[in-house]
Amino acid sequence: MNGFQVVSRVEILVDIVPKWIFLQVQNFTVQEGGSRALLEDYLKIPSKYFEGLDCEFVLLEPPKHGYVKSSNSPRGKLMKFIGKQVENELTYYAHDDSEKLHDNFAVFANSSELGKQSLPQTLFVTVESVNDEAPLVTANNILQVWMNSFTEMTSADDLCAEDGDSSPQDLAYWVTTPSNGHLALKSFPSQSIQNFSQAQINEGQLVFVHAGSVKPLSSHDLKAVTNDVDSAGNRTITFPVISSPRLRRLVRLNSDSSTEEVSVFTQYLVSSILSHKLKQLYWEKDDNLALKNFICTSKWGLHCAHDGKLLIKNENDK
């Protein structure tokens, strides 16, 4: 023979080294405006093939609401650092103290010795909010209401405050008692409230209930007479309303204190129970309505005397 011996069933083991460095990252939490050391658990290379490898970590995308720094140079911003710095907890993520509660940055590991690097990995940062900002009032306008009405308050036109540290639900208002009405929720308009949230305003739940008032319309304001005194007792003087008030309502006050709108009335009602209910915007002081004066007798039927206007003035007008 040729001196060679045949050996069968020989097993050859092939250990394949990964093409890429395997980088495993872990998300972390930091307080608003605070900093957190980048621990080995956050940037780990668990592969046995790269065990003990002192590789370099390079920021592919830096944080948007903070920066990475070294404890040896707290004000400097790092774009790369080595594994030994992570091992010794010398590298930190620092939040920029903004109201942003989420951040992230992308990093990859690089080894010049092996000529290998990892695929980019993203670390997500959760920021714990600190309530250190005062609310900012962005709208506080005069609330325009009708007398004896329910007026919804809106965030765009009436009252709005913003606070980067608090949600609208947590942004609360405390108020003193209004002198001529009350605040209430739309679902319970008769129940006065002293506090409410911005969320309730935003959702259209808050209303202002104006107390309103009723001004009697007496014969001092409106009176029609005839010149035939002898037959005056038999006459009924009637006033049809031909042009209603723009800002108020003409109502009859019933015995149960309820009201009903009227379009015609008599001199007798003016002298007894007719009332003119105020319902106007607070800056409007004057109004008028047009009347047609009819004189009706049991003997002669219906006769038209003349048209006229009744000017309504606010009691506070001088």
Residue 166 DSSP label: S
User: Do residues 173 and 185 share a domain?
Assistant: yes
Total domain count for the chain?
Answer: 3
Within this chain, do residues 261 and 242 fall inside the same structural domain, yes or no? yes
Residue 109 contacts residue 172 (beta carbons within 8 Å): no
CA 55 to chain centre: 50
**Consecutive H or E run containing 133:** none
Residue 17 inside a domain? The answer is no
Q: Output the pLDDT for position 290.
A: 53
Instruction: Name the 3-class secondary structure at 17.
Output: coil
What tens digit of pLDDT does each residue of 212-224 get? 655 677 777 778 7
Structure confidence by residue, pLDDT tens digits, 238-266 = 888 887 776 566 777 666 656 677 788 88
Question: For residue range 2-17, what is the model confidence (pLDDT) as tens digits?
Answer: 677 888 888 888 877 7
* Residue 293: predicted pLDDT: 42
Is-above-0.95 flag for pTM? no
In a domain, 296, yes or no: yes
Q: Are residues 152 and 100 in the same domain?
A: no
pLDDT-derived band of residue 230, with 50, 70 and 90 as boundaries?
low
pLDDT tens digits along 112-136: 888 999 999 999 999 998 877 788 8
Q: Are residues 170 and 246 in the same domain?
A: no
Alpha helices in the chain (DSSP H): 83-87, 198-202, 267-271
Co-location of 56 and 86 in the same domain: yes
Tell me which of 128, 153, 177 is where a domain ends.
128
Q: Are residues 155 and 90 in the same domain?
A: no
Q: What is the CATH number of the domain that holds 112?
A: 2.60.40.10
The percentage of residues in the chain with a pLDDT greater than 70, rounded to a whole number, is 76
Band (233; pLDDT cuts 50, 70, 90): low
User: How many Cβ atoms from other residues are within 10 Å of residue 248's Cβ?
Assistant: 21
Mean pLDDT of 154-172: 85
CB 205 within 8 A of CB 197: no
Average pLDDT score over residue span 138-161: 83
Q: What is the pLDDT of residues 21-80, one digit of tens each?
A: 999 999 999 999 999 999 999 999 988 888 878 899 999 999 999 999 998 887 789 999
More confident position, 164 or 174: 174
Q: Which of 38, 72, 29 is nearest to 57 (CA)?
A: 38
Please indicate, yes or no, if residue 258 is contained in any of the structural domains.
yes
CB-count exposure of residue 28 (10 Å: 0-12, 13-18, 19+)? middle
The structure tokens listed for 116 are 């290998």
pLDDT of residue 229: 59
Residue 232 has pLDDT above 80, yes or no: no
Q: What is the extent of the structural domain holding 32?
A: 24-128
